[in-house]
């Protein structure tokens, strides 16, 4: 849901947040809202674009290694909105029973650890390039096992070097900044890292599974935003980097601004993993064309802009998936119908049994081992 922090709503399942003590807030100006909405739009599309490209590389590495990543089945997709609803309502009850301060204290430390690891995974290559050639690098190998002899079982096998440790230290410093100040920039760095990792690593195996998932969450989002106050209450109470925020009063107060417009990460990651699947389908066609990815990406942009417009016009938080789901599903399917590739689109499957049993694939694996 989307919403803003004064009386103006912002994007799907995101909402009016009372930052700080809620005092001294400057009402959002048209210019301030334009800057906030534009910034949120850019921050929303960036993880989808980057995460989709990274997902292609990730799945290619999985195939080459012979590993099969965990993917969501049609049954999982159908159950997901129900599980999400139970989780959302459970969190709502917890906030009604227990002190919000103590709950958010636990959440802060939990997301501190997750955020540092997610940011390190994304930022590793960049930090490595910034380090000088004279950097005294050294490799390390961490192995953790249980049992002895025949019963010995490997639990963890991790290789890293000093450059990785340097990246982890930088990310930890950002985490401490978030832990102490809860600054909106630190929140966004964690949120963007979560979103990129989510689009890259979470897998839908088939287009039909994506349709089931998005269709179920379409109903879920509408019900919990328009039918009850549960989602709005949880989003206002939940202090964690599970949303992207941008101040609408940044032109007046600079980095100390506290009148935030917000967008939930679910409105980025859920459509994002479907768009990433479209890109992998484009790659599988081997036509040097990314028509389905660009169609899905453009549809997401259009749906997000529609959400912002409707929310701003009606001055009420909007379930973004109400607009994103029809766009992200409808446009690629329409493109497939026009191109006569609807059977190929719905027949595509990541890591299918056919691919695994393909003699050429087996020969490639053998050649790679020999090398």
The catalytic site residues sit at 221, 267
Cβ–Cβ under 8 Å, residues 37 and 2: no
Report the distance separating Cα 178 and Cα 158, nearest Å. Answer: 27
Report the distance separating Cα 231 and Cα 13, nearest Å. Answer: 7
Report the distance separating Cα 57 and Cα 70, nearest Å. Answer: 16
* Strand ranges for the chain from DSSP E: 2-4, 139-146, 153-161, 243-247, 260-264
DSSP bridge pairs for 158: 142
Report the distance separating Cα 140 and Cα 109, nearest Å. Answer: 27
Question: In sequence order, what are the residues at sequence separation of 6 or more whose Cβ sits closer than 8 angstroms to the Cβ of residue 239?
Answer: 104, 107, 108, 182
Report the greatest alpha carbon distance in the chain: 70
Report the distance separating Cα 318 and Cα 307, nearest Å. Answer: 7
């Amino acid at each position: 849901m989307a919403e803003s922090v004064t009386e103006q709503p912002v994007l799907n399942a995101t909402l009016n947040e009372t930052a700080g003590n809620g005092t001294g807030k400057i009402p959002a100006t048209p210019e301030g809202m334009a800057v906030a909405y534009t910034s949120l739009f850019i921050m929303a599309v960036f993880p989808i674009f980057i995460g989709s490209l990274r997902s292609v590389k990730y799945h290619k590495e999985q195939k080459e290694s012979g590993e099969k990543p965990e993917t969501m089945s049609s049954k999982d997709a159908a159950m997901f909105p129900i599980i999400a609803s139970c989780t959302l309502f459970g969190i709502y009850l917890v906030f009604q029973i227990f002190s919000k301060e103590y709950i958010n204290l636990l959440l802060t430390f939990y997301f501190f650890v997750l955020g540092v690891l997610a940011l390190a995974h994304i930022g590793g290559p960049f930090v490595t390039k910034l380090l000088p050639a004279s950097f005294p690098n050294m490799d390390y190998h961490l192995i953790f096992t249980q049992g002895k002899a025949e019963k010995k079982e490997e639990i963890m096998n991790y290789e890293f070097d000093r450059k990785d440790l340097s990246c982890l230290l930088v990310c930890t410093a950002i985490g401490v900044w978030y832990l102490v100040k809860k600054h909106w920039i630190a929140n966004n760095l964690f949120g963007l890292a979560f979103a990129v990792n989510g689009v890259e690593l979470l897998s839908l195996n088939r287009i039909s599974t994506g349709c089931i998932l998005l269709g179920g969450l379409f109903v879920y989002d509408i019900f919990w935003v328009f039918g009850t106050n549960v989602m709005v209450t949880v989003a206002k109470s939940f202090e964690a980097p599970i949303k992207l925020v941008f101040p609408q009063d940044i032109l007046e107060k600079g980095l100390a601004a506290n009148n935030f417009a917000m967008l939930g990460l679910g409105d980025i990651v859920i459509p994002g993993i479907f768009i990433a699947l479209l890109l992998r389908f484009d790659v599988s066609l081997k036509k040097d064309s990314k028509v389905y990815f660009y169609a899905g990406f453009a549809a997401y942009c259009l749906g997000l802009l529609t959400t912002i417009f409707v929310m701003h016009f009606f001055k009420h938080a909007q379930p973004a998936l109400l607009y994103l789901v029809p766009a992200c599903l409808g446009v690629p399917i329409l493109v497939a119908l026009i191109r006569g590739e609807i059977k190929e689109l719905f027949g595509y499957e990541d890591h299918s049994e056919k691919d695994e049993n393909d003699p050429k694939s087996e020969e490639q694996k053998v050649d790679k081992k020999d090398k």
